[in-house]
Amino acid sequence: MRRKNKITTIGGATRDIMFYTDDMLLIDNKKDLLRQKLIAFEWGAKVYSDDVYFTWGGGGANTAVSLANLGIKTKTILSLGDDLVAQEILQHLKKKNIDTTAIQKHSKKQTGTSFIANVGKLNEHVIFAYRGANNDIDLSPNILRKINTPWIYISSLPANFGKKMSILFTGCHDKDQNIAWNPGSNQLKMGLPNLRKFMSKTCVFIVNRDEALELLVSDKKIKTKNNINFILKNLHKAGQQVTVVTDGRKGSYVFDGKKIYSHKAIGGTGINTTGAGDSFGSAFVAGLIKYDWNIDKSLNLAILNSSHVIKKIGAQEGLLKSSDLKRYKL
């Protein structure tokens, strides 16, 4: 079941507007475990942009394109407005040979848009997100019954989705579908005590280090330590098969309940970190499918994919293709 080469991604799709400026300050805030870096604007100032780019984004779309690029047969469930941007997104996904038959349209909402402000030599960013039609995604039992791929990749879901999460996770789990889950900010805010019942139905759980700390701190019974072994092992107690924690330029870590795997980040200067998490998580799952659950090779593929993404503007422009893998002996 694990090795079958088909997957459905579930999440958002957006038009991304990338904005680069030096008129913001990047502030270290290490005293606050959950907000270690801040970006500040001068009050009342006009902030000028050095460059602006229009690209595509959203967790559901990003992961779909990434998986399809790597040779995985991919279907996606997204919610779009009935507008020109939606038409362009559909055309873009179809060109990537992604099955778009489950994409939903809503005439009363606009397609989601993200305004991404990048600052500093390392291009740290903050995202101003208008979810729009993404908030109206329908994942009712009637919709889920039509999704029969062996793998499901779930990214960020709407804030109003709390009560429906049981339907989604139970429905997929009962059909013996392997769930990969990279929760968005709305789900992380629910806290670890409320997410455990979903994590226990998850095959691969993917978060970055800051998100992992946020979850552990939310459980008052855990005396949280900012130590990667502690983070991996305590998150893993929720019951998922594989726990993945990314840590930016420091690399990434995987725990399968028996062994901790790690891989250093690839050196070099990136120009854009948007979509790095989506490219990593989707490539890791693609690796598990392609390489018969070989975690080392899957982690290597994930690191390579994300390292390529950060060297291009946008979340999808730098994604690896199957034809690139021979170069890296994958």
Asked if 283 and 304 count as a contact pair (C-beta separation under 8 A), the reply is: yes
**Of 93, 87, 72, 70, residue with least CA distance to 11:** 93
CA separation (Å) from 33 to 37, 193, 209, 214, 260?
10, 19, 11, 8, 24
**C-alpha 170, offset from chain centre:** 21
Q: What is the mean pLDDT of each run of 10 residues along the chain (330 residues)?
A: 80 94 83 80 89 95 98 98 97 98 95 89 80 95 92 93 89 95 95 97 97 96 95 98 96 98 86 90 98 97 96 94 91
Segment holding 194, helix H or strand E? helix 192-199
Collapsing DSSP to helix, strand or coil, 220 comes out as coil
At 163 the pLDDT is: 78
Whole-structure pTM value: 0.93
Cα 35 to Cα 28: distance, rounded to the nearest angstrom: 9
Angle between helices 59-69 and 84-95 (to 10 degrees): 20
Each residue of 42-101: pLDDT tens digit?
Answer: 899 998 888 899 999 999 999 999 999 999 999 999 999 999 999 999 999 999 999 999
At 122 the pLDDT is: 60
Cα 120 to Cα 281: distance, rounded to the nearest angstrom: 26
* The token pair that represents 41 in the structure block: 């604007």
At 277 the pLDDT is: 96
Fold topology of 6-12+59-111+132-322: UDP-N-acetylmuramoyl-L-alanine:D-glutamate ligase (3.40.1190)
DSSP string, 256-322: -SS-EEEEPPPPS--S--TTHHHHHHHHHHHHHHHTTT-HHHHHHHHHHHHHHHTTSSSSSTT---G
What's the one-letter identity of residue 273? T
